[in-house]
Amino acid sequence: MQFAKGVNKDVSERVMSAQGQSEPRYGQGVGIRPAEPVDTALIFDLIRELADYEKLADAVDATPAMIAEALFGEKPRLFCAIAEWDGQAAGLAVWFLNFSTFRGRHGVYLEDLFVRPAYRGKGLGKALMAHLARRCVEEGYARFEWSVLDWNAPSIAFYESIGAQVLPDWKICRMSGDALNSFAKGAQR
């Protein structure tokens, strides 16, 4: 198995992936598994915990039903991996496919990465990131991208330690809520 730059294969053992194939394990007690419909409440709880950590709890208007439909509906376009420590749910990665017209291929966009505070420092974040990096390599995807809040120095340091570049020249642009509705109506004129 090939590993993406910055992924340490020395910590590899075997666990099962979503396709039933073996994939490296990251150290004693760490496991990564695909989310299942029974995990919906857990996933929603982890999303809420992430929102609390990012000081964005008031921004969450998703419901468990919305998350379940996005992940497990007829044609899911959102994906999730659960990190476990000794069989206990400890974190998650939520992602979807994006596309680079410059590269002519899909990539993975990591929407959320979260590890519960009690499980930090045990390699779970790195295991989740390596899981997605491998998926990119195995599927021939061009990129693995995500955003990080500028005040989140521990996460920035972690991402840089695994080989990621924090792109200072790029800014996230977002339109939602009233601005989105107003622009959509006004752009039709």
The answer as to whether 100 is a domain residue is yes
Q: What CA–CA distance (Å, rounded) separates 183 from 5?
A: 41
Assign residue 40 the CATH number of its domain. 3.40.630.30
The answer as to whether 4 is a domain residue is no
In this predicted structure, what is the pLDDT of residue 107? 97
pLDDT 10s digits, 34-84: 999 999 999 999 999 999 999 999 999 999 999 999 999 999 999 999 999
Q: What CA–CA distance (Å, rounded) separates 155 from 3?
A: 22
The answer as to whether 2 is a domain residue is no
Which H or E run contains 16?
strand 13-16
The answer as to whether 147 is a domain residue is yes
Q: What CA–CA distance (Å, rounded) separates 27 from 122?
A: 8
Give the lowest-confidence range in 4-13, 19-28, 109-118, 134-143.
4-13
Q: 159 an active-site residue?
A: yes
The answer as to whether 95 is a domain residue is yes
Q: Is 122 left (phi over 0), alpha (psi -120 to 50) or beta?
A: alpha
Which H or E run contains 121?
none
In this predicted structure, what is the pLDDT of residue 93? 98
Structural domain range at position 91: 9-186
The answer as to whether 3 is a domain residue is no
How many other CB atoms are there within 10 angstroms of residue 154's CB atom?
Answer: 8
Tokens of 56: 């964005």
Q: What is the mean pLDDT of residues 12-40?
A: 65
Give the lowest-confidence range in 5-19, 20-34, 114-128, 156-170.
5-19
The answer as to whether 91 is a domain residue is yes
The number of folded domains in the chain is 1
The answer as to whether 85 is a domain residue is yes
pLDDT 10s digits, 145-162: 999 999 999 999 999 999
